Each structure stands twice: as C-alpha cells, then as structure tokens.
Amino acid sequence: MIIQFLLKYELNLRLRFSKRTIGNYRDTFLLVFRFQEDELKKPIAKITMDTFSIEFIQGFLTWVEDTRGCSIATRNQRLSAIHSFVKFVRFRCPEHLAVCNKILEIRFKKTAEKTVNYLTVEGLRLLLKMPNQRTKQGLKDLALIGLTYDSGARVQEVIDLKIGSFLWMNANVISLFGKGRKERKVPITQETVNIVNAYIATLPPRIKNDPNHSLFFNKQGIFLTRAGIGYILKKYFQKAKVLEPTLFPEGISPHALRHSKAMHLLEAGVNLIYIRDLLGHVSVTTTEIYAKANPEVRRKAIEKLAAHIITEDKTSSKDKEDLTAWLKECV
C-alpha cells in the first residue's frame, strides 16, 4: 500500500506540486522505515497496514522530535505526509477506516510565530550595488538577486525559470509557477528587465537561443539549487554588511528577498490584496503577517486613525472665558 501511495503521488505531485513537496513525502517514509528498524527492531519487510496504529504514529512523531531533535515544524511536516497517506488508504481499503480516522485526529502542534527577516530599502540598495556588473559573473548574480526581489518569487520559482520566460515576455510581466503549479503573472520593473536581458546576451548562442534552458545555472550548465542561490546571496550580503552593519540583520536567506518586497510594498501603501496576488498567497491572512511584523506600518495606521478622531478645537476665546466663570460659580 505504501508503494502504491508513493507511486501515485509521485506522478500527481510532479504535475501539481513542487520538487520539495515530493522530497518531503519521500523523506517521511524513509524515516518511518528507519524508526521501524532502529527503534522497534523490526525489519522493514514486515511493515503492513496493521503496523500503522495510532500508537505507532505517535511514537514515530515523538522519535522525530525528541530523539532526532527536529523542530515542531518538521514534526508537523511529517504528520502532514502521514495524513495524506491514510486518506489515500481510507478510500481504497475501507477495512482500515477506523484506524485511519484515529490517525487523522492526531493534531499538529502549534509553533511559535517566526520573525519576518527582511531588508530595509536602504539595505537592499546597498546589496544591489555589491555585484560587479562589468564581469559576467557579477552581472549574472545581480540579475539573479534583482529578479528574485523584484518579482517577490519563491526560491523554487526562480530555479524553474527558463530563458523563454524573458525572450517572449510581454509588457514587463513574467509568469511564475508556484505551489500546486498555479501560474501567476507578476509585473517587474524595466530596470530589472534590462539587467536580465543584458545577462542573457552574455550567454553562449546555444543557451540563449534555447527557450527551455534554465535561466540561472551553475558552471556545469545545471540549474541552480537552493543552496547555490543562498551562497550567492550571502556572499554579497556579507560584503554589504561590512560597509554598513546597522542596515542589515544577523543573517539572510533567499526568502528574505521575498519578505523584503512585501514589506516595501506595504510601506508604500500598496493594498494587502494586491500584495497577496503578487506573492501567490491563497489567503490574505497569510499576507497579514507583514503588517503585524512591521512597526512602521502600524504607526502610520494609528496616526491615520488619530487624524480622523482628533478634530481641531474650534471653541472661541469668549466661550472658554464664560465656561471658566460658570465653573467658578459652581465651586
């Protein structure tokens, strides 16, 4: 049953979800097998649907969190994969309905709210000055960092970009394919378009004329990984931080560029609904984390509200004198 589930979801996930999601499903069941062997001292070959009792799953989750030292977020991630598996089983093997329903009742643990890590406008400007545009590598790195920020894209969305995304671009709008392979069209500035096109112009003809070739790739011609993009970003982040340490947080990740884009739009007064659509969030509730995390946005909102509530005192001087005299008579 596990093999059937993985094979089915392998095909469906390739069509509907990211490679990262596929990897999470795979890794969860590899850990389940390890838990069976290392902790329960039972061979993998003996795993059956009867193995998946609620006690087994709860023991596995405790092992993931306590023995392996994983975070609550990782524990919840493993539980999510198991929930998908038992839903698969529930509709194909009704005889296991009772135990599947019990496993589905296992709740996700609450996690502490993460701090939104982002750059100020001044910090971003300095960061973008670090790559040397006079070199091919510097121009490529600037195109990568600038496009990631300007589009507000997820890292995987940047990795999946092709040369054709720009060769056939219309009206400075680029198509991104996010979670669930949902396409969204995102506007980017003419400056970003010029930088990316200048980078493409430096590529060998066989690459720049191939619309299906990865837009960003390593020296071997293979698309960049998350770690690769993170390495490039941190290299320039560290240079910029040496120059102006007060402008930058302790560390940075590619996702911080996405956070930065959202924060800068919010500070500029852009509506949350528009920011939601730009980032590809399903619900505006997800986008609201930026409003909660930015004290400057809250301050401006309070000042705007106060401007409507606090009105100018139009009482005349004579009225005030009459009121003062009346109060003295009442004492």
Q: Are residues 176 and 204 in the same domain?
A: yes
Q: Are residues 289 and 159 in the same domain?
A: yes
| Least confident stretch, 45-49, 55-59, 287-291 | 287-291
Q: What is the Cα–Cα distance from 202 to 163, expressed in whole angstroms?
A: 13
Q: Are residues 38 and 75 in the same domain?
A: yes
**Regarding predicted confidence, which is higher, 224 or 26?**
224
Q: Are residues 70 and 147 in the same domain?
A: no
Mean pLDDT of 189-214: 92
Mean pLDDT of 95-113: 86
- Residues marked active site are found at 154, 179, 255, 258, 281, 290
The SS3 of residue 106 is coil
Q: Are residues 157 and 213 in the same domain?
A: yes
Computed over every residue of the chain, the mean pLDDT equals: 82
Q: What is the Cα–Cα distance from 185 to 2, expressed in whole angstroms?
A: 37
**258 domain residue, yes or no:** yes
Mean pLDDT of 131-158: 94
The CATH number linked to 82 is 1.10.150
**Regarding predicted confidence, which is higher, 198 or 322?**
198
What domain range is 262 assigned to?
Answer: 121-304
The CATH number linked to 150 is 1.10.443.10
**156 domain residue, yes or no:** yes
**91 domain residue, yes or no:** yes
The SS3 of residue 268 is coil
**312 domain residue, yes or no:** no
Q: Are residues 47 and 185 in the same domain?
A: no
**76 domain residue, yes or no:** yes
pLDDT at 52: 84
Tell me the one-letter amino acid at 14: R
**314 domain residue, yes or no:** no
Q: What is the Cα–Cα distance from 256 to 104, expressed in whole angstroms?
A: 34
Report phi then psi at 29, rounded to 5: -75, -25
pLDDT in tens, 288-329: 777 766 666 555 544 554 444 444 455 555 555 554 555 555
pLDDT at 279: 87
Q: Are residues 150 and 33 in the same domain?
A: no
Final residue belonging to a domain, choices 46, 69, 104: 104
Q: What is the Cα–Cα distance from 180 to 237, expressed in whole angstroms?
A: 31
Nearest one of 49, 42, 80, 53 to 64, comparing CA atoms: 80
As for how many domains the chain has, the answer is 2
Nearest one of 205, 192, 176 to 277, comparing CA atoms: 176
